[in-house]
Amino acid sequence: MHLNRQQLLRESLRRYLRRESWVSLDRLIHKTRMEELAAVLGGFRDHEQFTVFDRLGDVERKALLIVSMQAPFGKRALEKLPPEKAAAILGEMASDDQADMISDLEDDFAAKVIQLLGFEDKEELETLLAYGDDTAGGIMLPEFVALPAETTAEEALISLREKSSDVEMANYIYVINGDDQLVGVLSLRKLVIAPPHRRIRDIMETDVIAVTPDTDQEAVARIVSDYGLLAVPVCDTDNVLLGIVTVDDIIDVLEEEAQEDLLKMAGAGAPVLEDAGFFTHVRHRFPWLLASCAGGLMSAVVMGGFEEILANHHFFALFLPIILGMSGNVGTQSATVTVRSIALGQISIGERIFNVLRRELTIGVVLGLSYAVVVGLVGALMGDQPFDGLAIGLSMMIGMTFAATVGTVIPIVLARVGVDPAVATGPFVTTTLDLIGVLIYFGISIPIALHFAGA
């Protein structure tokens, strides 16, 4: 049903834009949610996107569309406007969204926009911009509901109603002392059902899960996931409440981190904006291919040492691609599973690591043995003698077992030394396994088979 609705909206927008039916277009976008409009406009051409954006009219709806669209739409849409109009649109956004957008703008244009924002917005904005983009401080909201511990439930509800238009998230009421330090938290549900004259200090939770402004956004996302929270408070070293990170920002973080890890695992580098230049894309991808290139050259050098075997036994070269390919696939599977476990905090120092290694090693042995039997039989039937199949099957089993082990160890080692383990599932693992696979095939398995054959 949702897909049909999106398809209908997409076709209607294209038809009205093509025919320049502005009245029909205005009527359609007026009754369409901005989130739905953003999902559809992502596939439209730039000038079509900006046409729809310009016809929204209302600055609040323009702000919501920018927040809902993927970058770099917001940057391009705002920089087409005079600074006054851009500031008016930014003024309708939450502080964290303002900070994200302004950090994307050109420096000169961003400075003009910041000057035009209200004093309170400007102050909050500069505070947020001082933190790293991938930290809790960089994505937190400075607006929240915080009340003294002596406040009654009735007074808290009155205060909540008064502040509801100024805060984005009011699911939690944070309890502070006279020094603005966080001492407790109270859910909206608990507040509503509490007796009117009861003090919130008596019904609040004192075991508060909080983070610091420097906490990595991935760690914040894990906390939200583990504890099922809708928001996490951000406190400084003195436990003074600075802001909150809401679940909608956590969803954005998870999507961003998933895209980044996917690109790293594919060896495509860090995410690059769509409007980035040709050489920017080349520059981001080039270094990741160096490992593959170096590994390929090293494999060629290693294979050169077995030139005599290849000259006398051409048949063995036919099965090298499948042995390297299967070993690479098993290694990538193990690396991906391990990276996921590390990201979810399921692998910790000590016994758990050895359990993971033992499991992946066992899986590698079972998979390697299974495929060794199949591929070895095919090799024996196609070869000149049965021992050809032995060499191929033995290489398959050893290669896949070793690949599962390497694919598990490398992400763990990288995580231990502070390197993102997602890089392990890219060219790094596959190149290592290709080199090792060649050594196993030509240096161990084939000589053994030839020895038994009396060659």
pLDDT in tens, the chain (455 residues): 455 788 889 899 999 999 999 999 999 999 999 989 998 898 888 889 999 999 998 899 999 999 888 888 999 999 999 999 999 999 888 877 888 888 888 889 988 888 888 766 677 777 777 888 788 988 888 888 999 999 999 999 998 888 877 777 788 999 999 888 999 999 999 999 999 999 999 999 999 999 999 998 888 988 888 888 889 999 999 999 999 998 888 887 777 776 666 666 655 555 555 555 566 667 766 766 776 777 778 877 877 777 777 777 677 778 888 888 888 888 888 888 887 777 666 665 555 677 788 888 898 899 989 998 998 888 888 877 767 788 888 888 888 898 888 888 888 887 777 777 766 566 677 777 888 888 887 777 777 766 666 65
Within 10 angstroms of residue 83's Cβ, the number of other Cβ atoms is 19
Look at residue 1 in the predicted model and tell me its pLDDT: 47
Q: Is the dihedral of CA 229, 181, 170, 152 positive or negative?
A: positive
CATH number at 18 reads 1.25.60.10
Verify that 115 and 227 share a domain, yes or no: no
Q: Residues 294, 396: one domain? A: yes
One domain, residues 82 and 152: no
Q: Is 291 helix (H, G, I), strand (E, B) or coil?
A: helix
Among 139, 156, 171, identify where a domain stops.
139
Q: Which pLDDT score is estimated for 278?
A: 62
Whether the upstream peptide bond of residue 72 has omega within 30° of 0, thus cis, is yes
The count of other CB atoms within 10 Å of the CB of residue 440 is 24
Give a yes or no: residue 263 inside a domain: no
- Token code pair at residue 343: 């990201």
How far apart, in whole angstroms, are the C-alpha atoms of residue 109 and residue 127? 19
Cα 338 from Cα 360, distance rounded (Å): 9
Domain contains 255: no
Angstrom distance (rounded) from CA 69 to CA 87 = 18
Residue 125 gets the label, from left (phi > 0), alpha (psi -120 to 50) or beta, of alpha
CA separation for the pair 59, 70 (Å, rounded): 18
Angle at CA of residue 137, ends 112 and 235, nearest 5°: 135
- Provide the CA 363 distance to its chain's centre, in angstroms: 28
Range of the domain at 182: 146-247
Torsion of CA 53, 59, 65, 71, to 10 degrees: 80
Classify residue 233: in a domain, yes or no: yes
| The domain boundary residue, chosen from 139, 171, 206 | 139
Q: CB of 231 within 8 A of CB of 247?
A: yes
Pair 111, 183 in one domain: no
Strand, coil or helix: what is 246? strand
Number of domains in the chain: 3
Nearest alpha carbon to residue 361 among 406, 325, 414, 324: 406
Q: What does the chain come to in residues? A: 455
Residues 27 and 115 in one domain: yes
DSSP classification of residue 258: H
Token code pair at residue 209 = 């899960």
Closest CA to 28 of 4, 56, 68: 56
Alpha helix locations (H) across 141-246?
153-163, 188-193, 217-227
- Give CA–CA dist 269/275, Å, rounded: 16
Contact predicate 220/234, CB 8 Å: no
Q: Which helix (H) or strand (E) holds 74?
A: helix 73-79
Residue 364 sits in a domain of what CATH number? 1.10.357.20
CATH number for the domain spanning 160: value is 3.10.580.10
Whether 175 and 225 share a structural domain: yes
Q: What are the residues facing 135 on neighbouring strands?
A: 216
Q: Both tokens of residue 133?
A: 């983009």
The set of long-range contacts for 70-74, using a CB threshold of 8 Å and a minimum separation of 24, is 70/42, 71/104, 71/273, 72/104, 72/273, 72/274, 72/275, 73/49, 74/101, 74/104
**Cα–Cα separations (whole angstroms), residue 433 to 114, 285, 300:** 52, 21, 14
Query: How far from chain centre, in Å, is Cα 259?
Result: 5
The whole-number pLDDT of residue 256 equals 73
365 and 433 in one domain?
Answer: yes
118 and 172 in a single domain? The answer is no
Cβ atoms of 125 and 158 within 8 Å: the answer is no
Contacts of 413 (CB under 8 A, 6+ apart): none
Q: What string of H, E and C letters represents the secondary structure of 352-379?
A: HHHHHHHHHHHHHHHHHHHHHHHHHHHH
354 with 441, same domain: the answer is yes
Question: What was the pLDDT predicted at 267?
Answer: 57
pLDDT for the residue numbered 130: 81
The answer to whether residues 235 and 179 belong to one domain is: yes
Q: Are residues 134 and 168 in the same domain?
A: no
> 95, 142 in Cβ contact below 8 A?
yes
Could you tell me the maximum CA-CA distance found in the chain, to the nearest angstrom?
95
- Is residue 348 in some structural domain? yes
Asked if residue 448 is part of any domain, the answer here is yes
Residues 242, 292 within the same domain = no
- Cα 293 to its chain centre, rounded Å, is 27
Task: Say which residues have a Cβ less than 8 Å from residue 402's Cβ, sequence separation at least 6.
Answer: 327, 364, 433, 436, 440
